[in-house]
Chains A and B, each alone.
Chain A
Amino acid sequence: MTPDGKTTAKARGAPEVTLTGLGKTYRGASRPTFADLSLICPAGRITVIVGPSGCGKTTLLRCVCGLESTSAGSIRFGEREVTTVDAERRGVAMVFQNYALYPDKTVAGNIGFPLRMARLPKAEIGRRVAAAARLVRIEDYLERRPAELSGGQRQRVGIARAIVRGPDVLMMDEPLSNLDTKLRAEMRAELGALQRQIGATTIYVTHDQTEALTLADHLVVMRGGVIEQEGNPEDVFLRPRNTFVADFMGRMNLIEGTSGEGRLTTEEGDEAKLTGYPAGHRVVLGFRPEEVTLGSAVEGGLTVTAPIGRRELLGTEVLVTLRLGERPLRVRVPVGTPLGEDITISVPPKHLHFFGEDGQRIEFAV
């Protein structure tokens, strides 16, 4: 490939992927899938785009790799402008949700196909196929056909085919969504390690928040064609910018109401104890089911006493649904916690999130 024999993105220095003012409107569609979208995917890192189905994340990915044309804006890989470059010349590799293997070719034939297209000598292809297969641990199956492999093995072939060229830019479109839960967790860890090893700038699309948080170096939350929040995954999780992100990343409980002296009154007139915050604000208050303590608050924060609705055993914890008036609130408590008719829970100030009526985050100086 390169004259100096450097075949990994790491050795060459993978490019930053820059999207500027990108727009896409499908022919005949009344609304754009996304418009004026700008995003910088840091070089050599994993950018995870997460969002509910139909948010435009997959379309965005397909535009970046050239399978869809864009209606506006530009795409650059480092200094290289690729907006109008054909998919087959863009040099992007992709891992597909449904594997997209060539059914008539053996595993070796599948992995070696991009190299054959690049007209590499046979011996070189053989060497690189073996190396890629070893990396994803399918070296024992090189002569099988895709139909003879399990789902996990097929996706390993899909990954090997994507990395065999040593691509600078790597796309992953929900690569683990067709696998069962246990395998998914395993492959997730492997994918992360593999990406660090090859160092390609990776764009990873998923609807699974666990995948997004564990894999992302840079996390992008999308809804309805708009980037709701982006940044370091920890920041996104700990400081969601609005109620959508709060709900999507970590299923926050959200209570709309008005703050008063030492309390929060919901629209239906139910009350919870809330101390340490200014009165007279209409707010949406949020907290995660994992971040509650049993009993009343000691140093300010929120205290709710409410009847128990449903209980679901999750394993070491029980997910309890309380009813504050008509409003369900989910909290996780350890298995074996004595539960009566009513329960009192509290949330310390550091775990409370406030949003305005428009859904945007509010910071109170406490």
Chain B
Amino acid sequence: MTSRSTSPFAPGQIAIHLALAAGAVFMLLPFWLMIRAALTPEAEIFSGNMLTLGTVTLDNFRRVFAEVPIIRYYLNGIFVVVAIFLGQIVICVPAAYALARLHFAGRELSLWIVLGALMIPYQVTAIPVYVILAQFGLIDTRSALILPFVANAFGVFLLRQFFLAIPGSVFEAARLDGAGAFHMLFSVVLPMARPALVTFGIFSFVSHWNDYFWPSFVLRSDAAATIPFGIVRFLDAELGSDYGPQMAAATLAVLPLLAGFLLAQRQFINGIAMSAGQVE
């Protein structure tokens, strides 16, 4: 293995970096076009040179803030993803712990049901869920965006695998140390699950922040709208082909995730790796 060579100028290294650079350009170009269009005056967007910045203006952003209730979308979005995640902790951690470590009749069956639920895309159950929500009068409310997701089969399964990787004697030690059911859950299991919860949390935040299908299904007005749904409504209604403000709105939509990614890159990558089935 000569490629163990540490020289950055070895031919193999150069080839690898060229390939990676090409990939990076391919991935980043759409983002660049979005940001460029958002910062360019309306008239100059299609004026030839697509790759470099011409006149820089914040007018597009001003129009978005003036014409679209984007602050409300943000607040709705934050409220919804936080509420979903808290609900998921409350439901998934005890369920996963029970499936991993408690002995009860029907444990195997419960696990198979969870695995089964994991295999059904949620679009399949969308209509029954819609009917239930409608009967409770929850259509077009934020509850409709939150409730269907708090019990998450993926979360239960991920956390169960995590708990299985921890030796059973740790939980036995906690019992001998005097921890009853309540303390077992809140003083031992929950703090222990933090690495798995960070990972799952990132996964949950990203998918629900970006979700468009479900809001478009259960919302009528933009009172409870989250960013993707709100912005699409706005594109349709107000700014049919105004690409500048459209791209400004799109930039605002991805901004929190982008900032989050830059701040917590390592956890993000762990999260993606973990959702591919590896725990730690």
Contact B178 A88 (CB under 8 A): yes
Instruction: Name A102's contact: one of B172, B175, B180, B192 (CB within 8 Å).
Output: B192
Q: Which residue of A lies closest to B193 (CB)?
A: A104
Whether A114 touches B177, Cβ cut-off 8 Å, given contacts A67-B172, A102-B188, A105-B191, is yes
Q: Which residue of B lies closest to A173 (CB)?
A: B169
The answer for the CA separation of A120 and B188 in the assembled complex, in Å, is 18
Contact B192 A88 (CB under 8 A): no
Q: How far is the CB of B137 from chain A (nearest CB, A)?
A: 42
Q: A94 near B: Cβ within 8 Å? A: yes
The answer for the CA separation of A66 and B178 in the assembled complex, in Å, is 12
Q: A19 near B: Cβ within 8 Å? A: no
Q: Which residues of B contact A67 (CB under 8 A)?
A: 172, 175-176
Contact A117 B183 (CB under 8 A): yes
Instruction: Name A117's contact: one of B166, B172, B178, B191 (CB within 8 Å).
Output: B178
The answer for the CA separation of A111 and B11 in the assembled complex, in Å, is 55
Contact B173 A100 (CB under 8 A): yes
Q: Which residue of B lies closest to A103 (CB)?
A: B192
Pick the most buried of B173, B191, B194: most chain A CB atoms within 10 A of its CB: B173
Instruction: Name B191's contact: one of A92, A104, A116 (CB within 8 Å).
Output: A104
Contact A88 B187 (CB under 8 A): no
Contact B178 A118 (CB under 8 A): yes
The answer for the CA separation of A93 and B176 in the assembled complex, in Å, is 6
Q: Which residues of A contact B121 (CB under 8 A)?
A: none
Q: Which residues of B contact A66 (CB under 8 A)?
A: 175-176
Q: Which residue of B lies closest to A27 (CB)?
A: B103
Q: How far is the CB of B80 from chain A (nearest CB, A)?
A: 29
Q: How far is the CB of A96 from chain B (nearest CB, A)?
A: 5
Contact B187 A94 (CB under 8 A): no
Q: B167 near A: Cβ within 8 Å? A: yes
Whether A113 touches B174, Cβ cut-off 8 Å, given contacts A96-B169, A98-B169, is yes
Contact A113 B170 (CB under 8 A): no
The answer for the CA separation of A117 and B179 in the assembled complex, in Å, is 6
The answer for the CA separation of A89 and B179 in the assembled complex, in Å, is 9
Q: Which residue of A lies closest to B180 (CB)?
A: A88
How many residues belonging to A are interface residues under a CB distance threshold of 8 Å? 26
Q: How far is the CB of B142 from chain A (nearest CB, A)?
A: 33
Q: A161 near B: Cβ within 8 Å? A: yes
Contact B167 A100 (CB under 8 A): yes
Q: How far is the CB of B214 from chain A (nearest CB, A)?
A: 34
Q: 1/0 contact trace for B127-140 toward A, CB 8 Å?
A: 00000000000000
Interface members, chain B 101-137 (any A CB < 8 Å): none
Contact B191 A113 (CB under 8 A): no
Pick the most buried of B167, B175, B179: most chain A CB atoms within 10 A of its CB: B175
Q: 1/0 contact trace for B152-182 toward A, CB 8 Å?
A: 0000000000000011011011111111100
**B interface, how many residues as a size bin?**
10 to 19
Contact B177 A117 (CB under 8 A): yes
Whether A100 touches B175, Cβ cut-off 8 Å, given contacts A88-B180, A105-B191, is no
Contact B172 A100 (CB under 8 A): yes
The answer for the CA separation of A101 and B169 in the assembled complex, in Å, is 9
Q: Which residues of A contact B173 (CB under 8 A)?
A: 94, 96, 100-102, 161
Whether A87 touches B188, Cβ cut-off 8 Å, given contacts A98-B167, A100-B169, is no
The answer for the CA separation of A87 and B172 in the assembled complex, in Å, is 9
Q: How far is the CB of B173 from chain A (nearest CB, A)?
A: 4
Q: Which residue of A lies closest to B167 (CB)?
A: A98
Q: A65 near B: Cβ within 8 Å? A: yes
The answer for the CA separation of A137 and B97 in the assembled complex, in Å, is 34
Q: How far is the CB of A110 from chain B (nearest CB, A)?
A: 9
Q: Which residues of B contact A114 (CB under 8 A)?
A: 177-178
Q: Which residues of B contact A96 (CB under 8 A)?
A: 169, 172-173
Q: How far is the CB of B179 from chain A (nearest CB, A)?
A: 5
Q: Which residues of A contact B188 (CB under 8 A)?
A: 102
Pick the most buried of B174, B178, B180, B194: most chain A CB atoms within 10 A of its CB: B178
Q: How far is the CB of A186 from chain B (nearest CB, A)?
A: 23
The answer for the CA separation of A90 and B187 in the assembled complex, in Å, is 20
Pick the most buried of A66, A90, A114: most chain B CB atoms within 10 A of its CB: A114
Q: Which residues of A contact B174 (CB under 8 A)?
A: 102, 113
The answer for the CA separation of A89 and B175 in the assembled complex, in Å, is 9
Whether A103 touches B166, Cβ cut-off 8 Å, given contacts A96-B173, A116-B187, is yes
Q: Which residues of A contact B187 (CB under 8 A)?
A: 113, 116-117
Shortest 9 CB-CB distances between A and B: which pairs?
A117-B178, A100-B169, A114-B177, A100-B173, A87-B175, A96-B169, A100-B170, A104-B191, A104-B192
Q: List 20 A-B contacts (CB under 8 A).
A: A67-B175, A67-B176, A86-B175, A87-B176, A90-B176, A93-B177, A96-B173, A98-B167, A100-B167, A100-B172, A101-B170, A102-B188, A103-B170, A104-B191, A104-B194, A105-B191, A113-B174, A116-B187, A117-B177, A118-B178
Question: Using a CB–CB distance below 8 Å, which chain B residues touch chain A?
Answer: 166-167, 169-170, 172-180, 183, 187-188, 191-192, 194
Question: Using a CB–CB distance below 8 Å, which chain A residues touch chain B?
Answer: 65-67, 86-90, 92-94, 96-98, 100-105, 113-114, 116-118, 161
Known pairs A102-B174, A103-B192, A113-B174; list 11 more (Cβ under 8 Å). Answer: A65-B176, A87-B176, A88-B180, A100-B167, A101-B173, A103-B166, A104-B192, A113-B179, A116-B187, A118-B178, A161-B173
